[in-house]
Chain A
Amino acid sequence: MSSKEDKPVEQSQSSWKDFIYNPRSGEFIGRTARSWALILLFYLIFYGFLAGLFSLTMWVMLQTLDDYTPKYRDRISNPGLVIRPKAPEIIFNRSAPSEYKEYTDHLEAFLSKYNGEHQQNNIDCTPGAYFIQDNQPLPKQVCKFERSLLGQCSGITDQTFGYSEGRPCIIVKMNRIIGLKPKPTPFINCTAKKDDKLSVNYFPENATFDSMYFPYYGKLAHEGYVQPLVAVKLLLNSSDFNKKLSVECKIEGSNLLNNDDRDKFLGRVAFQVKVTE
Chain B
Amino acid sequence: MTTEKSEVFMVEPLNRGNVSKKKNRFSLSSIMTRVRRRGGKMENMKREVEINDHRLSIEELEKKYATDIKVGLSPADAAERLDRYGLNKLTPPKGTPEIVKFTKLLLGGFQILFWIGSILCFIAYGLQVSSDPTSPRDNLYLGIVLVGVVVMTALFAYYQEAKSTNIMAGFKNMVPQQACVIRGGSKLQINATELVIGDIVDIKGGDRVPADLRLFAGRGCKVDNSSLTGESEPQARSSELTHENPLETKNIAFYSTTCLEGTASGIVINTGDNTVIGRIAFLASGVENEKTPIAIEIEHFVHMISALALFVGFLFLFISLGMGYNILNAIIFFIGIVVAYVPEGLLATVTVCLSLTAKTMAKKNCLVKNLEAVETLGSTSVICSDKTGTLTQNRMTVAHMWFDKYVHTADTSEEMTGEQFDMSSKTWTALGQVASLCNRAVFRGGQEDKPISRREVEGDASETALLKFTEMVLGNVAGIRDQNPKVAEIPFNSTNKFQLSIHETDDPADKRYLLVMKGAPERILDRCSSIMITGQEWPLDEEMKEDFQRAYMELGSMGERVLGFCHCYLPEDKFPVGFQFDTEEMNFPTTNLCFVGLISLIDPPRSSVPEAISKCHSAGIKVIMVTGDHPITAKAIAIAVGIISPESETVEDIAQRLNIPIEKVDKADAKAAVINGGDLKDMTTEQLMEILRNHPEIVFARTSPQQKLIIVEACQNLGNFVAVTGDGVNDSPALKKANIGIAMGIAGSDAAKGAADMILLDDNFASIVTGVEEGRLIFDNLKKSISYTLTKNIPEMVPFMVYIIISCPLPLGTITILFIELGTDIIPSISLAYEKAESDIMNQKPRHPKRDRLVNIQLAAYTYFHIGIIETFSGFLCYFTVMAEQGYLPGTLINIRVPWESRTVGDLQDTFGQEWTYYQRAQMEWTGYTSFFVGIVGCQIINSIIRKTRRFSLFRQNVLKNRVFLMGIASQIIVAAFLSYCPGMGDGLHFMPLRVQYWFVSAPYVILIFAYDELRKLIIRNFPGCWVDRELFY
Q: Which residues of A contact B (CB under 8 A)?
A: 1-2, 5, 38-39, 42-43, 46-47, 50, 53-54, 57-58, 61-62, 65, 68-73, 75-76, 79-82, 86-88, 173, 175-178, 216, 218-220, 222, 225, 260, 262-266, 269
Contacts and interface: CB of A to CB of B under 8 A. Distances in A.
Nearest to A81: B906
Nearest to B880: A58
Q: Which of A57, A219, A220, A264 has the most CB of B within 10 A?
A: A57
Interface string B861-884: 000011001100100110011001
**Ordered nearest first, which 5 A-B pairs have the shortest CB separation?**
A219-B913, A80-B917, A175-B915, A263-B919, A70-B887
B627 to A, nearest CB: 33
Given A5-B851, A65-B885, A81-B906, A265 B877 contact: no
Given A5-B851, A80-B907, A222 B884 contact: no
Contacts of A88: 904
A88 B909 CA distance: 19
Nearest to A30: B857
Interface string B1014-1029: 0000000000000100
B911 interface: yes
Contacts of B918: 263, 265
B907 A173 contact: yes
5 contacts: A53-B873, A53-B1008, A54-B876, A72-B885, A264-B919
Contacts of A61: 877, 880-881, 884, 1001
Contacts of B889: 62, 65
Interface string B12-23: 000000000000
Contact of B913 (A1, A39, A173, A216): A216
A175 B917 contact: yes
Given A70-B910, A219-B912, A54 B873 contact: yes
Contact of B1031 (A39, A69, A71): A39
B496 interface: no
Nearest to A46: B866
Contacts of B886: 70-73, 75
Given A61-B880, A265-B917, A82 B869 contact: no
A178 B916 CA distance: 12
A263 B924 CA distance: 13
A5 B852 CA distance: 11
Contact of A263 (B911, B917, B1001): B917
A38 B873 contact: no
A107 B259 CA distance: 106
Say what secondary structure dominates the interface of chain B.
Answer: helix
Contacts of A69: 912
A94 B1031 CA distance: 75
Given A43-B865, A72-B885, A176-B915, A263 B920 contact: yes
Contacts of A71: 885-886
A80 B916 contact: yes
Contact of A50 (B851, B869, B890, B920): B869
Contacts of B927: 75
Contacts of B1027: 38
B942 to A, nearest CB: 16
A76 B920 CA distance: 7
B914 A53 contact: no
B914 A176 contact: yes
A178 B912 contact: yes
A80 B913 contact: no
Contacts of B909: 176, 219
A58 B877 contact: yes
Nearest to B888: A70
Given A61-B877, A72-B886, A222 B915 contact: no
Interface string B929-945: 00000000000000000
Contacts of A2: 851
A66 to B, nearest CB: 9
A244 B273 CA distance: 82
A266 B923 contact: no
B987 interface: yes
Nearest to B904: A88
A269 B903 CA distance: 13
Contacts of A65: 884-885, 889
Interface of B: 850-851, 857, 865-866, 869-870, 873, 876-877, 880-881, 884-887, 889-890, 904, 906-907, 909-920, 923-924, 927, 987, 995, 1001, 1004, 1008, 1027, 1031
Contacts of B911: 70, 219
A177 B915 contact: yes
B906 A47 contact: no
Nearest to A262: B919
B825 to A, nearest CB: 23
Contacts of B884: 61-62, 65, 70
Given A75-B916, A75-B920, A80-B916, 16 more contacts: A54-B876, A54-B877, A61-B884, A65-B884, A70-B886, A70-B887, A75-B927, A76-B920, A80-B915, A82-B906, A82-B915, A86-B904, A175-B907, A175-B915, A262-B919, A265-B919
B283 to A, nearest CB: 32
Given A50-B873, A54-B873, A86-B904, A76 B1004 contact: no
B915 A53 contact: no
A218 B904 contact: no
Contacts of A218: 912-914
Contacts of B850: 5
A103 to B, nearest CB: 15
A71 B857 CA distance: 45
A82 B907 contact: yes
Contact of A73 (B870, B881, B887): B887
A260 B919 CA distance: 11
B887 A175 contact: no
A15 to B, nearest CB: 12
B912 A68 contact: yes
A137 to B, nearest CB: 19
B854 to A, nearest CB: 15
Contacts of A42: 1031
Contacts of A175: 906-907, 914-917
Nearest to B887: A70
A135 B675 CA distance: 102
Contacts of A38: 1027
A216 B919 CA distance: 22
A132 to B, nearest CB: 18
A78 to B, nearest CB: 9
Q: Which of A50, A76, A269 has the most CB of B within 10 A?
A: A76
B303 to A, nearest CB: 15
Nearest to A177: B914
Contacts of A265: 906, 917-919
A90 to B, nearest CB: 13
B877 A57 contact: yes
Q: Which of B885, B909, B914, B916 has the most CB of A within 10 A?
A: B914
Contacts of A73: 886-887, 914
A22 B909 CA distance: 57
Q: Which of B873, B877, B884, B907 has the most CB of A within 10 A?
A: B907
A110 to B, nearest CB: 11
A72 B993 CA distance: 14
A268 to B, nearest CB: 10
A248 B889 CA distance: 34
Contacts of A53: 873, 1004, 1008
A228 B1008 CA distance: 51
A70 B885 contact: yes
A262 to B, nearest CB: 6
B1010 to A, nearest CB: 14
Nearest to A227: B915
B1001 to A, nearest CB: 8
Contacts of B885: 65, 70-72
Contacts of B869: 47, 50
B913 A75 contact: no
Contacts of A86: 904
B630 to A, nearest CB: 40
